[in-house]
Structure 1
């Protein structure tokens, strides 16, 4: 808009992504782990069953997913639960956090006949009903709007959007964030107030009642900084400020800041997605599925496992963080993970 006042980056990003998810099929631009292979959902379905047992087998309990996409992950998890953990399947009340009416329709079709009880939808995590809960969020946090600050000689400036470019203005209200990091002058520090709000909301809930949450996303841990804002349009990288609503805007998740905000809860990790899936039996499952299959099918199954877990594919960049009520067992896959906040705090520029 010619002559428009500069717009704060997080407000631009929120507006652009709301238009994008309302009007486009995001899966034409990117593919998520559940769409790569059913093994991802099956592995996490088994994770839900073991986690539920560790919570004392509450019946009923809320099985929630934030940002459920096409509903593939929940469909694969509930199919697995019905087959190998029928008590858990029967106790689960599925609740989805989704704002897009179009995607809700897609999810409704994907979950038809998969759940023991009717599925409910909510606009926010805060709107989920009270009670014991297991929450999963795969590639949810990365789409939440970020703010970017530039270190100056005397403090911080903030990046705003003007036309298709950035302008930097003096920062007038610093949000909660990792501003104690040793960011060099001229470098960018990102913070995501909405993600920190999710961490606080989940932690407060888990202090009130039993719960475990699993967040999987691409991101980083430790006292890092740098510009991670990116856009995908028609499956290709694009300039994030051009044509708002026509591209998917995301940023890498700051798991260290997220864990620090989850006050009162226990946080485990982060660990890499590859380490988590390997610990939960991904490669054994791939071998089981590939056995006695034609060579082409067997190769496709093994390749999907590598795509999910190999360090040079999704395995290293994607991280997993578990948040639990105090006193609950360490969730499956995190037994050898450090407690969040015990990672080395040396600073450095974030390199995707």
Structure 2
């Protein structure tokens, strides 16, 4: 009988003790043998989840024009590094490059870099971009990007893949929520009492509430700040998450577009936690970069002109107008992706004014 990731996690926890939520999520997503992204990422309507670029071509097109405008405001340098972190199946960057054809000179200046740890997704990106105007190269980490040219970076739904540890305030003090094993070898959540090891939140937390702290998201923000400070440029982050500090357990599993128990089938479902924009932006500022405020995805896309783009598409294809309207609503309506998803940017120099903010 083949040993599953769950079997290996159970054995490891029995031997070494309960596992932090962040470590558990990392193993489920990136375990070399059985991790979700390492072996079976499934995006789109027929997969486990759908992202904004897969909702409509308008999303990627506007991000592409955003990148072109940033390049222009940087002085239209002869060389610019266009970077996407976590490019998924390549739809966003493909749509962005197509839209960028409208501006002479930009694509000739682009050195396209994709940061992608998943071998299956790298293969899909290579397939989708085989006939693109610009051919990508793949790197594994931000620190590998050269800093001798400005950088324009896109990170759509990247932060939510960087897990957080979970802490709970109890009547007896603070405890960490960890993944343990029951007597019948099932995975379960439990609490381990702690006296330190994390910075207690400055906001009010009631007993029983969970506080999430993601060192991975903070470290990513520090790396972004270091990159844009050294090279100049901007990093655009779009994700679902919180714009203000606050408590809440946001860990969820998604399989075939339905929420599932994160502990039931490790490696077989996508696991996510909310982007912590206050943490990310503060970490970037502490590392010397400037940041924008945090705005809703709907407001951001409207500022970039998505409504006008939708109207042009509907005029060109009247038969598709109802579908295009539904796509527009999905991306921008407050009760869909418009407010839960947010946009923010890390940039340098301070004089660089970014479109959409």
Same fold (TM over 0.5): yes
Contact 1:55 1:328 in 2 (8 A): no
Q: Which residue of 2 aligns with 1:165?
A: 188
CA distance in 2 between counterparts of 1:268 and 1:228 reads 24
- Alignment of 1:182 with 2:204, yes or no, is yes
Contact 1:71 1:110 in 2 (8 A): yes
Q: Which residue of 1 aligns with 2:41?
A: 25
Q: Which runs of 5+ in 2 are unaligned?
A: 1-9, 182-186
Q: Which residue of 1 aligns with 2:3?
A: none
- Alignment of 1:99 with 2:117, yes or no, is yes
- Alignment of 1:309 with 2:332, yes or no, is yes
Contact 2:233 2:349 in 1 (8 A): no
CA distance in 1 between counterparts of 2:91 and 2:264 reads 31
Q: Which residue of 2 aligns with 1:350?
A: none
CA distance in 2 between counterparts of 1:58 and 1:216 reads 25
Q: Which residue of 2 aligns with 1:282?
A: 306
Q: Which residue of 2 aligns with 1:125?
A: 142
- Alignment of 1:59 with 2:83, yes or no, is no
Deviations 1:212-240 (A, max 9, x none): 01000000111211101001012211001
Q: Which residue of 2 aligns with 1:300?
A: 323
Give me the TM-score of the superposition, normalised by structure 2. 0.89
Contact 1:54 1:328 in 2 (8 A): no
CA distance in 2 between counterparts of 1:79 and 1:292 reads 18
Question: Structure 2 matches for 1:193-204, cutoff 5 A?
Answer: 193-204=215-226
Shift of 1:129: 2.2
- Alignment of 1:10 with 2:27, yes or no, is no
Q: Please, which moves more after superposition, 187-196 or 118-127? A: 118-127
Contact 1:229 1:252 in 2 (8 A): yes
Q: Which residue of 1 aligns with 2:168?
A: 150
Deviations 1:293-340 (A, max 9, x none): 243x11111211111111111111000011111323221010xxxxxx
- Alignment of 1:78 with 2:97, yes or no, is yes
Contact 1:68 1:98 in 2 (8 A): yes
Q: Which residue of 1 aligns with 2:291?
A: 267
Change (3 A) 1:185 1:326: farther
Give me the TM-score of the superposition, normalised by structure 1. 0.90
Three-state SS of the structure 1 residue aligned to 2:294 is strand
RMSD: 1.6
Change (3 A) 1:178 1:169: closer
Contact 1:62 1:132 in 2 (8 A): yes
Aligned length in residues = 330
Three-state SS of the structure 2 residue aligned to 1:89 is helix
Three-state SS of the structure 2 residue aligned to 1:99 is coil
Q: Which residue of 2 aligns with 1:251?
A: 273
- Alignment of 1:42 with 2:42, yes or no, is no
Contact 1:178 1:191 in 2 (8 A): no
Shift of 1:113: 2.3
Q: Runs in 1 of length 4+ with deviation above 4 angstroms?
A: none
Deviations 1:28-62 (A, max 9, x none): 00111101111101111110111111112122111
Question: Structure 2 matches for 1:205-244, cutoff 5 A?
Answer: 205-244=227-266
Three-state SS of the structure 1 residue aligned to 2:339 is helix
CA distance in 1 between counterparts of 2:120 and 2:311 reads 37
Q: Which runs of 5+ in 1 are unaligned?
A: 335-352
CA distance in 2 between counterparts of 1:139 and 1:312 reads 19
CA distance in 2 between counterparts of 1:173 and 1:246 reads 34
CA distance in 1 between counterparts of 2:172 and 2:347 reads 39
CA distance in 2 between counterparts of 1:128 and 1:170 reads 41
